[in-house]
Amino acid sequence: MADPASPVVRLDGVEHRFGAVRAVAGVDLAVAAGECLGLVGHNGAGKSTLMHVLAGTLRPDQGALAVQGEVLTGRYDVVVAQRQGIRCVFQEFSLCPNLTVAENARILHPALTGFGWRAQAGRLIGEALDRIFPGHGIAAGDVVGDLSIAKRQMVEIARAFTVTDVPVRLVILDEPTSSLDAMVAGQLLAFVRSFTASGGSAILISHLLGEILGTADRIVVLRDGQVVATRPAAEFTRDSLVAAMGSVAKAEPGARPAAAAGRAGTGARIRAQPARQTDGQELVVHPGEIVGLAGLAGHGQTDMLLQLFAAAGRRGGRTLVAGEVALVAGDRQADGILPLWSIAKNITISSLRRMTRFGLIDPAAEQALASEWQARIQIRTPDLEHNILSLSGGNQQKALFARALGSAASILLMDDPMRGVDIGTKQEVYGIIRAEAAKGRSFVWYTTEMDELAHCDHVYVFRNGRIVADLARSELAEEKVLQASFAEAAA
Amino acid sequence: MTAGLLTPRVLRSLLPALSLAVLLVAIFYLQPRAMSYFGINLLLNLAVPIALATLAQMFILTVNDLDLSIGSFVSFVACIAATWLSEMPLLGILALLGCILVYALLGALIYLRDLPSIVVTLGMSFVWLGLSVLLLPTPGGTAPGWLQALMKLKTPLVPFCVIAAIVIGLVVHLGLMRSAHGAVLRGAGGNPKAVARAGWSLLRIKVTMFALAGCFGVLAGLALVGLTTSADANIALRYTLLSIAGVILGGGEFVGGRVSPIGAVIGAMTLTLAGSFLSFLRLSPDWQIGAQGAILILVLALRMLINRAEARR
C-alpha cells in the first residue's frame, strides 16, 4: 500500500441532509493510492450519498474535501472530479440508451473531438472492454439500448476505466456486479485487484460480502450516516461484518405482543409467489396480520406489492388475494398526493364510490368521512379544505393513511410509507396500524427500516426478487434479516 | 423473416424511404407526365420549407421537448422577409437574428424554470401570430429578388428542390449524428442526468438546440416566401403539425433523443407528396387532410408491427 499520508481523496467531517434526514452525518474517509476500499452498510446507511459527494454530483452541507492533498471544499463539482481523475459507476444506469457504445465513451471525454473521434472512441472503449471482460462480445457501434442489462453494465464499468487526457486515479464502483453473472463479476473483481496493484485506487460498494472481503484491502462500515468500523479486510469475517452493520441490541419501544392466534387457525387472505421464485416459497397473509417485507431496497418488494395490487379481486392465477386492497404509496409526491386538491378530497378519493347519491358525490358524506379520519389519526390542520401541500410531510403521509384506512379495503399494502417522516408521527401511525390489525385488517408492509419490522407478525426477507427467509415474529432478529439480505449463492 | 439483411432494425430504418418510394411510384403510375424535371419540381418544391421546419422540430424533439409554435414562427419569418427584408434589409436581418435569439432564450427559460415546452411554445405561437398580423395585416408584400432567384434556380439534370433536400439532410446528419458534439446533444435527450454527470451543461445544450430550431425555422420561412413571392400571417400555420408528423414518420420518437435527420427530410417529402397523390386520385380537397392522416397512421402502424417483431426475437 502507498503512503497513507497523501491520500487520493480525503473527506473530513462530511455531512449532508435531505430535508430533516441526515443521510451522511460527519464522515471521515481517506483512500490511499493503490488501495481498494470496501464500503458496506444496510439501507439508508449513507453509502450512495457519500458516493455522490465524492463524484461531485452532491455538494455536502458541511465538511472538507481534499484530492491529492489539495483542499477543494466548496469548489468541487463533477467537472473538477473528472479533471482529478475520479470516476464513478453509479448504481442507477447512466449511459444514454439512444447512443452507440462509442458515442457513450465520447460523452465522458471532452477531449474526443475532431476528425476521426468516432474511431478513436471506439478503440478506447473496445480496449477497456477487452482488458476487463475478455470475450465480452460487444461492438463499439452497438446501440446501448439494444444491449442486455449485463452488457450495458459492462460498458458502463469499462467506460469508467478509459483514459484520454487525465489518468484515472480513483474509480468508485457502486454495486457493480448487481446485474453481472458470476463469471463476469469474477473478471471485474480480478481487474480491480490488478488496477489497484498498479497504483490506482478503488472504492467498492456491494451487498455481496464475499466480494468485499475477497477484493478490498480495507473495509469501512457505515450505519445511520456514520462510520462505525474501519479495519483491514483480513480482520473481518462475514459474521463480524454483519454484526458491525446492525445496531447493537436495540430496545423495541412499543413492540407488539406476540399475535395471539396461530397461523394455522384461519384461512389465508393472501397467497402469492414472487414471479422469480423457484422453490415454491409463498407469501401468506392471514386476517388481522401485519406482514413485513424486508431486505435491501429494490430487491423485489415493491414488485410484490404491485403484483398483489394487480391480483386483487381477480380469481384464478397463481396469486390469491381475497378482499379489497388499498395501497399506501411510498413516494408520496409522485404516487400519493393529488397536489392541487384539498386535504379532505385527498382523503376521500378512494371511497367516492360509497358516497354517491343519484350518481353524484354526496358532499355531506364526504365531509363526514374526512373529519372522522382527521379526528381518528389526528391530522394537524386548522381546516380540511386547505390544500394538501399546506401539511407537513408527516401529516401528508397521515392523510394518505386516512385515505387507505377510510376505504373499504380489508388489505392494506404499504410501500415503505414512513420515508422521511418524523419519529413522533411514526409512533402514532404504528399505533393506528396495530389498532386496525386488531380489528381484522391485514397489512403488507414493505419497509427499509429495521425497527419497523418489530411491529410485524411475520417477516419475509427478499433478495434478487425472491423470498429468501420467512421469519415468524418469535424468530425475528436483526442479525437474521441482515444475514439473509446479504447472503450469497450457496457456496 | 429471412435472417441476415432483413432484420427488423434494418426494416425500421428503411421504412421512411420505402414509404416515399411507394408514394412516388403510385404518383408516376397515376400521372406518368409527373416523371420529368418539371413535374418533380412542381411536386416537391414546397417540400424544401417543410423539410426545414421539420428539422427545426426535430432539434426540439431531440431534447424531449415539443414546439407548437413552429408554424406561426415560420409565418412570421415569411412576413418579415416579404416586408422588412426587401424594403430595409438591415432591419430585416436584425429582426431575423432577434427571432433566433428569442428561440435560444425560450430554451433557457424552459430549462431553468423546468416548464413544459408545450405550454411555453403554445403561448409563443399566439405571440408570433399576433406579430405577423401587426406586420402584415393583409396578405401581400414581396419577397426580395435574390430569394426568389435562389428558390427558382434551374439546376442541370436534377431539380433544385431535390438537391436542396439532399444537401440539407446530409448537413444536419453530419452535424447531429456524426460529429462529436452531436453525440452529446443527442445524449441529453437519451439520459440527461448521465450527460450532466459527465460534466456537460444541460442549459447550454438546451439553448443550442432551441437556437438551431430557430435558425432552421428562419430558413424555412425564407425558403417558403422565396417560392410564394408574397406572404400572409397564416401562410404556414399547418407546418406545426406537419413538422411533428414528418419527424415521427421519418423514424424519430417523441422522447429519448432518437431522431434521424435524413428520415425527417424524407418524412417531410412524403407528407408533401401525399397531398399531390390525393389530388391525382381526384379526391376532393375536403378529404385530403383526413387521407393524409390515414397515410400517417398506416406508416406508424407498420413501424409498430416491426417493433413488435423485434421485441419477439
Contacts of A117 in chain B (CB under 8 A): 180
> How many angstroms separate the CA of residue A388 from the nearest CA in chain B?
22
A92 → chain B, closest CA residue: B194
> How many angstroms separate the CA of residue B238 from the nearest CA in chain A?
30
* Substitution target from B191, B203, B253, B313 for chain A, most A beta carbons within 10 A: B191
Q: Which residues does residue A87 pair with via DSSP β-bridges, in sequence order? A: A171
* B283 band by pLDDT with thresholds 50, 70 and 90: confident
Contact (CB, 8 A) for B87 and B35:
no
pLDDT digits (tens, 9 = 90+) for B160-205: 999 999 999 999 999 999 999 999 999 999 999 999 988 899 999 9
Among the partner residues A79, A95, A113, nearest to B199 by beta-carbon distance: A79
Contacts of A166 in chain B (CB under 8 A): none
CB interface of A with B, residues 137-156, below 8 Å = 145-146
pLDDT at position B106 over 90: yes
Contacts of B191 in chain A (CB under 8 A): 93-97
**Cross-chain residue pair B187–A82, CB shorter than 8 Å:** no
Please report the pLDDT score of residue A2 as a whole number: 39
B252 → chain A, closest CA residue: A98
Contact (CB, 8 A) for A60 and A16:
yes
**A82 at interface of B, judged by CB pairs closer than 8 A:** yes
> How many angstroms separate the CA of residue B133 from the nearest CA in chain A?
38
pLDDT at position B279 over 90: no
Compute the distance between CA of residue A350 and CA of residue A345 in angstroms, rounded to an integer: 9
Quote ipTM for the complex.
0.89
Please report the pLDDT score of residue A395 as a whole number: 82
Contacts of A93 in chain B (CB under 8 A): 191, 194
Contacts of B280 (CB under 8 A, 6+ apart): B27, B30, B31, B34
Contact (CB, 8 A) for A129 and A158:
yes
Instruction: Look at residue B282 and give its three-state secondary structure.
Output: coil
Average pLDDT score over residue span B264-285: 88
**A174 at interface of B, judged by CB pairs closer than 8 A:** no
Least confident of B92-96, B224-228, B285-289: B285-289
CA distances from A216 to A1, A196, A212, A465, B232 (A): 12, 10, 5, 27, 72
> Measuring CA to CA, which residue among A374, A366, A413 is closest to residue A391?
A374
Contacts of B9 in chain A (CB under 8 A): 146
Please report the pLDDT score of residue A336 as a whole number: 82
Contacts of B64 in chain A (CB under 8 A): none
Angle made by CA atoms B258, B263, B268, in degrees to the nearest 5: 120
Least confident of A431-435, B256-260, B308-312: B308-312
Element (H, E) at A166: none
**A247 at interface of B, judged by CB pairs closer than 8 A:** no
CA distances from A215 to A47, A132, A196, A241 (A): 18, 15, 10, 15
pLDDT digits (tens, 9 = 90+) for B112-127: 999 999 999 999 999 9
Q: How far apart are the first and last CA of chain B?
A: 11
Please report the pLDDT score of residue A420 as a whole number: 66
- What single string gives the DSSP state of each residue in A323-390? S-EEEE-SSIIIII--TTSBHHHHHHGGGGGGGEETTEE-HHHHHHHHHHHHHHHT---S-TTSBGGG
Contacts of A88 in chain B (CB under 8 A): 197
Radius of gyration of chain B (CA): 20
Please report the pLDDT score of residue A479 as a whole number: 81
CB pairs under 8 A between A and B: 66
Q: What domains does chain B contain, in order, with CATH numbers?
A: 34-305 (1.10.3470)
pTM recorded for the entire structure: 0.79
Please report the pLDDT score of residue A270 as a whole number: 86
> How many angstroms separate the CA of residue A462 from the nearest CA in chain B?
29
Q: Which residues does residue A472 pair with via DSSP β-bridges, in sequence order? A: A458
**What cell was used for B120?**
411555453
**Cross-chain residue pair A95–B191, CB shorter than 8 Å:** yes
Residues in chain B whose Cβ is within 8 Å of chain A: 9, 178, 180-181, 183-184, 186-187, 189-191, 193-200, 256-258
Please report the pLDDT score of residue A250 as a whole number: 43
B255 → chain A, closest CA residue: A98
**Cross-chain residue pair B180–A117, CB shorter than 8 Å:** yes
**Cross-chain residue pair B194–A118, CB shorter than 8 Å:** no
SS3 content of chain A, % helix, strand, coil (to 5): 35, 20, 40
> Measuring CA to CA, which residue among A154, A171, A25 is closest to residue A93?
A154
> How many angstroms separate the CA of residue B58 from the nearest CA in chain A?
15
**Cross-chain residue pair B187–A104, CB shorter than 8 Å:** yes
A93 → chain B, closest CA residue: B194
pLDDT at position B265 over 50: yes
Q: For each successive 10 residues of chain A (491 residues), what is the average pLDDT?
A: 66 83 86 93 80 89 89 87 90 87 93 91 95 92 87 93 91 87 89 94 88 92 88 88 67 46 64 83 88 85 88 74 85 80 89 84 88 84 84 82 87 84 77 89 87 87 88 83 71 35
**What cell was used for A293?**
417485507
Average pLDDT score over residue span B280-295: 81
> Measuring CA to CA, which residue among B15, A453, B189, B291 is closest to residue A443?
A453
